Structure 1
Amino acid sequence: MEVGDLENALPDYVEPSVHVEICQNPCSTLTAAIIKEHVMQLLHQHRTAYGDFILTEFDDPILIKHVKSVAICDTDLSKLGKQAIDLCHTQLDLHVFQLQEDGAASEELDDDNLSAASHWILPAVEFHGMWENLIFDSSVKEDLLHYAATTLLFSDQNVDCNVISWNRVILLHGPPGTGKTSLCKALAQKLCIRLSNRYSYGQLIEINSHSLFSKWFSESGKLVMKMFQKIQEFIDNQDALICVLIDEVESLTAARKSSMSGAEPSDAIRVVNALLTQIDQIKKHPNVIILTTSNVTGAIDLAFVDRADIKQYIGHPSPAAVFKIYHSCLCELMRKRIIQPLQQLLDLRALEVMEFKENDATKLSMRLWEIANQSHGLSGRTLRKLPFLAHALYIQTRTVSLKDYLAALSEVVKRQFEERGHLESS
């Protein structure tokens, strides 16, 4: 084949599609094809989108009866090179899903009723909306979705894993409270929704690392193997996407160097070897992904770190990310009428456009920006608690003005740092 023939054989560049996630009512038995047809009509009526948005009220009787929400998600207009999305002439990728309401089940391994893992059928009600409310400074969420897409592509095209290697393992590391575990759960949920055309459902298996260290010497390695034998049974169902979550993976992968020096019992060596062996065995299956987190990366065995395709650091949020977290919290309180929705709260993009200049329109939003800078160094987990504590500790009324609420929020941030100082000095 000549070079020109090769170029002609390659497909033209395909513009990135816009993802539309359609939450079907749990009692609905309507086919996804019919729902997609009616949603397409709805979107064509709207014609234009200026970013992410969600619809929960419809005129179409079919949508009223069978659909809870229609969401255009994960749009990045700057990367699309657009200020708006033409819904009539843009490639729309529709995903129909139903939320599972059963909650977590427990996986037990031995006669002592040892709870070795929690198990969810996905997508699950308790993880709904988690992805959208996780805010990071980097493009980690987008990168993880692209990673999963490439994993599937290489599997579908039968890329020789002896030539190009990937292990289906992700390691998120960083200080406690930064959202690592939540991101893993949210990613599992998001993948099950995005791959609803490919897999009928998903399963999330969260391994309880601490429980796998048996009270009987030398049993831990065997328990790890038993756990992965159970996981293999799930993987054998090719109709399901299996996500394995190992939180605080350092509990299972304590460095063998410490064990060999006598600092740790030799059982730790067996655990690490068993885990590495099981990962190597299940990576050949296209319907599995292993998600791991760690607060203490120095304790993880290097052989495990080497197997992780992505090693992503998740740190404390920057002031910009803090602002977005607070902004989402305050908007929720406005929707629930706890904060009087009489004054507009501008988002970060609007403040950037206005070059952070204070005037009557930006005064309260700039106050929130000051509080966000004041909060730098706090974890995402703490930041999500502060809007509650601001009301609980400094507001005694059922409803409050935005100005008074921001004053309370500023006080609770100061108090948080004072309490941290007392703890560190005691």
Structure 2
Amino acid sequence: MVSADISMESQTPAPEERQASTTGAMRWTVHVEVRLKPRASSRFETIRNLVYSYVTSYERLVLPSTLSGWEDIPELLSSVERISVCEAQCPTASLKMEEMVIQAHVYQPSDDDAFEEFSNSSGSRGEDDDTMAASVCELPNRNYEGLWDSLIYAGDIKMKLLDYIHATLVLSDANVDFEEEDGFVVVLIDEVESLTAARAGAMAGTEPSDGLRVVNALLTQLDKLKTRKNVLIMATSNLVKAIDSAFVDRADIIQYVDLPSREAIYEILRTCLCEMILKGIVASVTIPTLKQVQMYELVSKVNGRSDASDGQERSRSIGLRLLALASQCRGMSGRALRRLPVLALARYIGLGNVGLAPGPSSSSAPPAAGRTSPSVSVGIWLDGMEKAVDEQAKEAEHLT
């Protein structure tokens, strides 16, 4: 369970945003994240208004993208680290300004990586249980940066959750209780079935009565938390049928997350490969995006050939091979997919072929004395990945 304390500013739209949303034309909500410097002391609302004025000076925005040019504004230069255009539900890669409703979110991440852990230990002799029951971490936190982007799902699951959370914040702000706590608390219960096992089994005598009391107590506390406008509860489970129906009834959103689709797997493998390239483990090469490789696949089926240049042809070939690998990985979880590069490196690429990388900025420099080549070709990496996938499939057969 994770509790997060977040310093919040009102998310009420600026007058320009309200006017833009009442013209009757279809507009897409576009979220813009503004990360402040650690010691910045400017008011969030001041920064937000400056960013809004700057962003709306664009004729078109690419989704997603990192903006530049705001450094020419002294107030932003002294306080802001980065301005990023993030999620939007629109199906296109860019939007004209008149097609958007901008929502600017200003945040100042914490540099403190300390967090509290709470165990089940009661302190009484002979009954100590050192199993960790919960951890508490202040958010936003730099240690978690990039984690959201690494979550890849089919469809619009991420946007659906973001929109719901944003809507609850707007509704809470509309009826603010000034005696309420300042923080926004997120409670995440992992493997919630361990706390909410169906009470039918306990009533039938197949489960201990303690389990029944735990579920009753949890449901009671959840009902009390409904009066708190600054608390969001999220839960995950791999055993949905084991969860008590009364707990399920209390959920505003029930989202089923299936195993990754071929397209989602491609994006996961692509991000893994790009990370390997960034760290200097794999030699630099351009990896096509999902939309690009889908176009390559379509052209290949229709024409059977490509009129691309040598560099484009190499990128196309790599993308199609990675897409074929994604098809082989159907049925694997995201966690298993992200283990594949390590397995490939350990078993098939060979640790002796990969030395300590000098880093992407100096990848063209010769390796230092005593080091082997700092990177392998993408072809060797793909060979190792394909063999690792075959091995995983064979091992899975023994478990079924």
Q: Shorter chain as normaliser: what TM range?
A: 0.7 to 0.9
Three-state SS of the structure 1 residue aligned to 2:85 is strand
2:291 paired with 1:349: yes
2:162 paired with 1:151: no
Q: What's the offset of the Cα at 1:57? A: 9.1
Of 25, 34, 42, the residue aligned with 2:37 is 25
What is the rounded CA distance, in whole Å, between the counterparts of 1:299 and 1:48 in structure 2? 49
What is the rounded CA distance, in whole Å, between the counterparts of 2:108 and 2:232 in structure 1? 22
Aligned pairs for 1:232-271 within 5 A: 237-271=180-214
What is the rounded CA distance, in whole Å, between the counterparts of 2:98 and 2:250 in structure 1? 44
Distance 1:403 1:144, change over 3 A: same
1:147-205 per-position Cα deviation (integer Å, ceiling 9, x unaligned)? 223434555567xxxxxxxxxxxxxxxxxxxxxxxxxxxxxxxxxxxxxxx99xxxxxx
Aligned pairs for 1:184-199 within 5 A: none
- The equivalent residue for 1:120 is 137
Structure 1 stretches of 5 or more lacking a match? 1-9, 159-197, 200-235
- The equivalent residue for 1:382 is 336
Q: Is the Cα–Cα contact under 8 Å of residues 356 and 366 in structure 1 kept in the other structure?
A: no
Of 100, 107, 123, the residue aligned with 1:97 is 107
What is the rounded CA distance, in whole Å, between the counterparts of 2:164 and 2:222 in structure 1? 18
Q: Is the Cα–Cα contact under 8 Å of residues 188 and 233 in structure 2 kept in the other structure?
A: yes
Moved more, 86-95 or 13-22: 86-95
Of 217, 222, 233, the residue aligned with 1:290 is 233
Of 335, 360, 365, the residue aligned with 2:319 is 365
What is the rounded CA distance, in whole Å, between the counterparts of 1:407 and 1:362 in structure 2? 17
Q: What's the offset of the Cα at 1:129? A: 1.8
Q: Is the Cα–Cα contact under 8 Å of residues 43 and 88 in structure 1 kept in the other structure?
A: no
Q: What's the offset of the Cα at 1:90? A: 4.4
What is the rounded CA distance, in whole Å, between the counterparts of 2:197 and 2:316 in structure 1? 51
- The equivalent residue for 1:86 is 96
Aligned pairs for 1:87-236 within 5 A: 87=97, 90-102=100-112, 103-107=114-118, 110-111=122-123, 115-155=132-172
2:54 paired with 1:49: no
Distance 1:83 1:303, change over 3 A: closer
Moved more, 88-97 or 358-367: 88-97
Three-state SS of the structure 2 residue aligned to 1:313 is coil
Q: Is the Cα–Cα contact under 8 Å of residues 44 and 88 in structure 1 kept in the other structure?
A: no
Three-state SS of the structure 2 residue aligned to 1:263 is coil
Distance 1:352 1:305, change over 3 A: same
Q: Partner amino acid for 1:310?
A: I
Per the normalisation by structure 2, the TM-score is 0.75
What is the rounded CA distance, in whole Å, between the counterparts of 2:333 and 2:226 in structure 1? 33
Q: What's the offset of the Cα at 1:22? A: 1.2
Q: What's the offset of the Cα at 1:280? A: 1.0
Q: What's the offset of the Cα at 1:409? A: 1.4
Q: Partner amino acid for 1:74?
A: E
Structure 2 stretches of 5 or more lacking a match? 1-20, 307-312, 355-373
Q: Is the Cα–Cα contact under 8 Å of residues 40 and 79 in structure 2 kept in the other structure?
A: yes
Q: What's the offset of the Cα at 1:42? A: 5.7
Q: Partner amino acid for 1:137?
A: A
Per the normalisation by structure 1, the TM-score is 0.70
Distance 1:11 1:31, change over 3 A: closer
